[in-house]
Amino acid sequence: MSGQTFEYSRRGIRQLTAYIKKHGKGTTVYTTFETLDWGLGCETLYSEHVFKARVVFGAGTVSTWRSKDLVVTRPTATTLVLTFPKAYAEITEFHVGRFSTAAAGLEWIITTDAIATTGIVTLTSVESDVGTATTPADGDKAYITIGVSCDVLLDRFTGSTA
């Protein structure tokens, strides 16, 4: 496929498919895009998206956040609500790094997972030693990474220990 480029559209996918059919099954395709959604919808194309957010905590429920395509709200002192641009099939990755102004160990856990129905996930901050909901200190920062799958094709990679 040396030198061939295809636009990120339905037409481009048709052109790419025709090229592969013409040149055989051994054709190698290299991609340079980050997300595969292309506006085609979850039912037509496998994709996995990674969202990131930085949240700086203030007193009470005050916080500021920075993210692309992810809306972060703080309804209580110990919870964050992440609203995604649409519903996704499932969460595939979750990690929160943090900068702390206090010495207490704080973790974020997923307490409500409605990613497949409403596209909303709720996180709760808990003290790592005790497991009870704990308010982040004023000035703390959370660096959130959450990956989501656009479809359930991941099921072909799952197994069971039963």
What is the domain partition of the chain in residue ranges?
1-32, 48-152
For residue 150, give the 3-state DSSP assignment: coil
As a whole number of angstroms, the distance between CA 96 and CA 110 comes to 11
Mean pLDDT of the 58-78 span: 89
**pLDDT of 97-130, one tens digit each?**
988 877 667 889 999 999 999 999 999 999 877 7
Instruction: Indicate whether 150 pLDDT > 80.
Output: no
pLDDT tens-digit series, residues 12-56: 677 777 776 776 655 555 554 444 444 444 444 457 889 999 999
**pLDDT at position 60, please?**
79
Contact 86, 119 (CB under 8 A): yes
Q: How confident is the model at residue 68 (pLDDT cuts 50, 70, 90)?
A: confident
Question: So what's the pLDDT on residue 85?
Answer: 92
Mean pLDDT value of segment 2-14 = 64
CA 51/CA 147 separation, integer angstroms: 6
For 95-127, b where at least 16 C-beta lie within 10 A, e where not — what string?
ebebeeeeeeebebeeeeeebeeebbbbbbbbe
pLDDT confidence bin for 162, thresholds 50/70/90: low
